[in-house]
Amino acid sequence: MSKTHLELTGVDMSFDTPKGSFLALDNINLKIKKGEFVSLIGHSGCGKSTVLNIVAGLLQATRGGCVLDGHEVNAPGPERAVVFQNHALMPWLTVYENVELAVQQVFRKTMTKQQRKDWINHNLELVNMAHAASKRPGEISGGMAQRVGIARALAMKPSVLLMDEPFGALDALTRAHLQDSLMDIQKDLNNTVIMITHDVDEAVLLSDRIIMMTNGPAATVGEDLRIELPRPRNRVELADDPTYVHYRQEVLKFLYEKQRKLETIAPRRSPQPAAADEEPEAARAARV
Ligand SMILES: Nc1ncnc2c1ncn2[C@@H]1O[C@H](COP(=O)(O)OP(=O)(O)OP(=O)(O)O)[C@@H](O)[C@H]1O
């Protein structure tokens, strides 16, 4: 990790609403280095997806902007792949064809047909989905579909991987498995990752930095916590590690003491984890 790879400078974001202009983000400043894994955490509606959408080029900041490798971001691009919570696969295409679509888009001119085929299979193998290459999204589980979504994003060789609650809708076991796979993949590929999460343990386990956002409107970066835990990280060993516990408490303190939501928390836009009822109380408490 060395110089700044991605930079948000003085970003404001206002939305026009029937009641007038709504300032969602106020002066977001963030410098991210190549290969850093950064999590965005904050209460519902604070503006995390808006930040991600600005980096993805899906939204234009009202003031300030985003620069990637010295180039201003003002449109979506294959070097910034997005993984959404609900994977967004094309239901009429097979698993293989879903990944192929992305690979065609990026490598049609630079890879031969055979190279593209090998590359698609390689990425499906990375997420342990090669065995289901000929299945359609309707024939596989949510966790499997999410793995295909990740394979599709990785197959574009993005320098930045943007993930909006990628594991939020999955049961606890599948989530743990995918978190471990993501750590392995990121170690090999050294992508920069920005991930939105509501899960404090997930943020501490995966991240090099946790960006904690203040409550909206006019949300901004509240705290920027560096997670200096050696890698590879093992969730079982870390559970009792005093440094891990300290980081976890820092995030919880920010969310529940410094940024306590006084009004009723807005309903989540997305479904709750499938196995939430089976989770231990402590794990549930650590979800924003
Ligand atoms: N297109 C839009 N028009 C008007 N307001 C918007 C628009 N998009 C987002 N907002 C508002 O901006 C604020 C931030 O929304 P955003 O979706 O970024 O929050 P979030 O932190 O990702 O929320 P959650 O955790 O619930 O997904 C919210 O108050 C939301 O209602």
* Rounded-to-integer distance, Cα 241 and Cα 110, Å: 47
Q: Cβ distance 208 to 227 under 8 Å?
A: yes
The letter for the amino acid at 281 is E
- Tokens 């992508």 correspond to 191
Please state, for a pLDDT cut of 70, what percent of the chain lies above it. Answer: 90
Residues 6+ apart with CB under 8 A from 200: 41, 248, 251, 252, 255, 286, 287, 288
DSSP H helical ranges for 190-267: 200-206, 235-238, 242-253
User: Which amino acid is it at 93?
Assistant: L
**DSSP state, 266?**
P
Asked which of 157, 189, 208 is the last residue of a domain, the reply is 157
pLDDT higher than threshold 60 for residue 273: no
CATH of the domain at 172: 3.40.50.300
Question: Given this model, what pLDDT does residue 285 score?
Answer: 59
Is residue 105 within 8 Å of residue 77, measured between CB atoms?
no
168 lines ligand 1 (CB under 6 A): no
ipTM of model: 0.98
Above pLDDT 90, what percent of the chain? 73
pLDDT value at residue 188: 85
Query: Is position 28 within any domain?
Result: yes
Q: Is the CB of 68 under 6 A from ligand 1?
A: no
Residue type, 81: A
- 19-42 per-position pLDDT tens digit: 999 999 999 999 999 999 999 999
State the pLDDT confidence band at 260, using cuts at 50, 70 and 90.
Answer: confident
Q: What pLDDT does residue 92 have?
A: 97
pLDDT digits (tens, 9 = 90+) for 180-239: 988 988 888 899 999 999 999 999 999 999 999 999 899 999 999 999 999 999 999 999
Q: How high is the pLDDT of residue 212?
A: 97
User: Does residue 48 sit in the same domain as residue 184?
Assistant: yes
Q: What is the pLDDT of residues 129-140, one digit of tens each?
A: 999 999 999 999
Are both 274 and 175 inside the same structural domain?
yes
- Per the structure, the complete domain to which residue 198 belongs is given by 4-79+158-285
Calpha distance 97→198 (Å, rounded): 31
52 and 151 both lie in a single domain: no
pTM > 0.80: yes
Q: How many angstroms separate the CA atoms of 275 and 1, rounded?
A: 37
Q: Which of 23, 49, 213, when mutated, tests ligand 1's pocket best, judged by the most ligand atoms within 8 Å of its CB?
A: 49
User: Tokens 């700044």 — which residue?
Assistant: 4
Q: What's the whole-number average pLDDT of the chain?
A: 89
Closest atom of ligand 1 to CA, residue 46:
21
Number of domains, the chain = 2
Whether residue 230 has a cis bond before it, omega within 30° of 0: no
Q: Which residue owns the Cα nearest ligand 1 atom 25?
A: 44
Considering the domain architecture, whether residues 144 and 164 belong to the same structural domain is answered as: no
Pocket test for ligand 1, best of 11, 17, 22, 52 (most atoms within 8 A of CB): 22
Same domain? 185 vs 58: yes
